[in-house]
Amino acid sequence: MEQSPDKNILVTADGIPLKTSLARAQRRSKFVAFMMVFPLLFFIMIGFIVPIVDMLFLSIDNSIVNRILPNTVESLKNWDPYANELPDEAVYASMVDDIKKAKKAREHTKIGTRLNYESSGFASLFRKAGRKVQKIDKPPYKEALIKTDKRWADIYTWQVIKQNSSDLTDGYYLAAFDFTRKFTNGKVEPLPEKDSIYIKLFFRTLLLSTLITFLTFVIGFPVSYMLANVPTRISNILIIFVLLPFWTSLLVRTTSWIALLQQEGVINDFLILIGIISEDGRLAMIHNATGTVIAMTHILLPFMILPLFSVMKTIPKSYLRAAISLGAHPWVAFWRIYFPNTGPGIGAGSILVFILAIGYYITPALVGGSSGTFISNRIAYHISNSLNWGLGSSIGVILLVIVLFLFILYDRIIGIKNMKLG
C-alpha cells in the first residue's frame, strides 16, 4: 500500500482509493446475495404481493360502468339526480347507443350484474334491453326505451346509474360494514339490525378464534411439557401421534368429527349407554358453534404443541432444580421460573393458531351449521358462488387489516422478537 499525494487517503496498489475499491467489492457481493434471494423474492411478488394488491384494487374498482356505458355516463353529468325529473332525450339516446354497442360486444349482461349488486332488478333490465334495443333505430329514444321496460321511466333507475358511474366505488366496503346507500337521496345509512351480517360475523370469527387459541393452549401446554421432559426415545414416538393428524386429509378429520359428535353419533350413543343422558336428551354438539370449536381445536392443536415443545426443549432442567434447592415450592418454581421461559413458545403458538383460525372456512362450513360459520365462509361464497368478487375482496381486505392490527398490537405488548418457533 502506498501513500497517495493526499496523505489522508489510503489507496490500493493500483492507485484507487481504498474506499472505492472496497465499495466495488462489496457491490459485487451484494449483487450475488441479491441474485441468491431473487427466486424467492420473485415468487413472493407473484404469489403474494401481486394478488394482495389486485385484491385491494378489486374491492374499489368500478371502471366497468364507464367502460360499457361511456356515453351515458358523460351525458348524465349534467343531470341532477335529486331534482325529481327524468333525464332528457340525449341521455336516453346515449343509453340506447351504449347498450347496442355492449350487446355487440356481448357485455350488456356484465353491466347488469354489476349494478344488480347495488340494487335488485338491474340484471333483468339490461338483459331485456339487450334483446330489444336493436329494433330501436330512430328517435324518440326515450319513449322507445321505456317501451322495452317501464323501469326506464323510473327516476330511481337513473339515480342508481348516476351514483355508480365513477371509476372507483365505496359500495363494496359499505356492504362489508353493513351500510347501505339510499340512491334516492345519496345518503349512507347503517342497515337495520335484522339485516346486518358482516359485522356480526367478524365479531364471531374473532371471538371463536380466540376461544380456539385458548383451548389449544390449555390442551397443548401439558402435552408439550410431557414431550419435552420424557427421554428422547419416548418423545420421538409420542411426537408421531402429534404429527399424525397432519398426515391425514383435513376433510377426513372433519368428517370423523361429524361421525363422533352428531346426535346419532358415537359420543351420544356412549353417553346414553353409560346413562349420563337419556334418549330424548341427545346433545347437539355439531352443526353449531360447539362443533366448530371442537373440530378446529383438534385440527390446529399441532400448531400450538410444536413451537411450545421446541421452546421447552431448550429450557435447562437445572433451572427448576436450582429454584427448588433454594427453597421454592415445586409449584412456585414452575410458575415463577419455568413458565415465563415458555413465553416465546406460547406467543408463537398462539399467533400461529389464531391467524390460521380466522382464515379457516372448510371446517366451519361442514360442522358449523348457522351459528358456527366464519367470515371466511362469506368470502368463499362471494368468490366462488355469487361471483361478487368486489364484495369478497373488500371483506378480505378488512380481515387483512384486522390481522395486521392485532399483529402490531401483539408486537407492542409482548414484542415480536420474543416469539420463537423453535
Partner 1 sequence: MNTFLRVMTASAVMAMAGLVGQVMAATELVVVSWGGAYTASQQNAYHAPYMKRNSGIKIINDDSAGSAVAKLRAMSQAGNTTWDLVDAVASDAMMLCDEGLVDEIDHNRVLASAPDGTSATDDFGDFIVSPCFIPQIVYSTTFGYRKDKVSRPMTSVCDVFDLVNFPGKRSLEKKPINNMEWALICDGVAPAKVYDVLGTDAGVTRALAKLDTIKSNVVWWTAGAQTPQLLADGEVIVGSTYNGRLFALIEEQKQPVAMLWDWQVFDLDGWVVPSGGKNKAEVMKYLRFATDTQRLADQAKFISYGPTRASSAPLVGKHASLGIEMAPHMPTDPENAKTTLLFNYEFWADNRDDLDAKFNAWLLK
Interface positions with partner 1 (CB under 8 A): 106, 108-109, 116-117, 120-124, 127, 130, 175, 191, 194-197, 200-201, 262-265, 287, 365-366, 369-370, 378, 386, 388
For residues 351 and 366, which CB has a smaller minimum distance to partner 1 in the complex?
366
Residue 277: Cβ within 10 Å count: 13
> Which CB, 298 or 378, lies closer to partner 1?
378
Residue 391 CB, shortest distance to partner 1, in Å, is 9
Cα–Cα nearest to 181, from 160, 203, 165: 160
Of 64 and 315, CB closest to partner 1: 64
Query: How is residue 263 written as a grid cell?
Result: 346426535
Closest of 158, 176, 173, 195 to residue 76, by C-alpha: 158
Rounded Cα–Cα distance for residues 358 and 252 (Å):
21
Question: Distance between CA 219 and CA 335 in Å, rounded?
Answer: 17
* Shortest distance, position 205 Cβ to partner 1, whole Å: 12
Nearer to partner 1, 202 or 354 (CB): 202
Write down the least CB distance from residue 345 to partner 1, Å.
36
| Cβ nearer to partner 1, comparing 211 with 238 | 211
CA angle 251, 257, 258 (to 5 degrees): 90
CB of 191 to partner 1, least distance (A): 8
Is the Cβ–Cβ distance between 117 and 126 less than 8 Å? Answer: no
14: its cell numbers: 493500483
Collect all residues with Cβ–Cβ distance below 8 Å to 69 and sequence separation of at least 6: 95, 98, 102, 111, 161, 165
Indicate the residue among 242 and 289 with the shorter CB distance to partner 1: 289
Grid cell in block for residue 320: 427448576
Alpha helices, DSSP H, located in 274-386: 289-313, 317-325, 330-333, 339-341, 343-358, 362-367, 375-384
Considering the complex, what minimum distance in angstroms separates the CB of residue 117 from partner 1? 6
Any idea how long the chain is? 422
CB of 340 to partner 1, least distance (A): 41
Minimum distance of partner 1 from residue 165's CB (angstroms)? 20
Q: In this complex, which beta carbon is closest to partner 1, that of residue 258 or of residue 355?
A: 258
How far is residue 280's CA from residue 396's CA, in Å, rounded to a whole number? 42
Q: Nearer to partner 1 by C-beta: 320 or 366? A: 366
Given a contact cutoff of 8 angstroms between Cβ atoms, the answer to whether 154 and 122 are in contact is no
Shortest distance in whole angstroms from residue 372 CB to partner 1: 11
CB of 72 to partner 1, least distance (A): 20
Q: Is 267 left (phi over 0), alpha (psi -120 to 50) or beta?
A: alpha
Nearest to partner 1 of 97, 178 (CB atom): 178
Q: What is the CA radius of gyration of the chain?
A: 32
Phi, psi of 183 (to 5 degrees): -75, -15
